[in-house]
Amino acid sequence: MKVSIPTENGLLAAKYSKQATPDQQYKGHPIISFPVNIQDVPTDAKSLAFAFFDHDAIPVGGFTWIHWIAANLPADTTVIPENASQTGAVPMVQGNNSTAGGYTGETDLKVTQHYVGPYPPDQDHDYTFRLYALDTKLDVQPGYWLNNFFKAIDGHVLATAETVVVGKK
């Protein structure tokens, strides 16, 4: 299985991160999700799921920052189009990102349960997108947490693929 995210000059495009123009942000957050290309999903997969996170946030905030998690995408998905997080262009159940955890005080579900783009405060960060092909659909509801996601996929992962993109400070 393979997954890729288009970049510009080796970086995540500005409109998907902190360089987004004000009309591409909501409440100061970049919320337009990037497109994702998916190939070679196992034929016996029943659904796809993914997590997009930032381990480089650990020295800054003390934990890995979760930018986007989603489950129950159709197994035959080959493209997650730009802004699918907000438009619903691909069916998926989105979980909480790190803005929902009380760290920011944000409560707006348009921010906390959707894509929220990279906003590295100290230096360029590496952002990991990990895709999972699963042998089942997950029993999750909107706003689930990453720990519940990991418990739900345990024993159901047929294949994984990941890519790393750089977000500019």
Please check whether residue 33 is in contact with residue 50, taking contact to mean a CB–CB distance below 8 angstroms.
no
Does the model's pTM come out above 0.85? yes
Q: What's the number of CA atoms in the CB half-sphere (13 Å) around residue 29?
A: 23
The dihedral sign for the CA sequence 91, 92, 98, 104? positive
Instruction: Identify the structural domains of the chain with CATH numbers, from first to last.
Output: 2-167 (3.90.280.10)
- Running DSSP on this structure, what letter comes out for residue 133? E
What are 18-32's pLDDT values in tens digits? 999 999 999 999 999
What are 141-151's pLDDT values in tens digits? 999 999 999 99
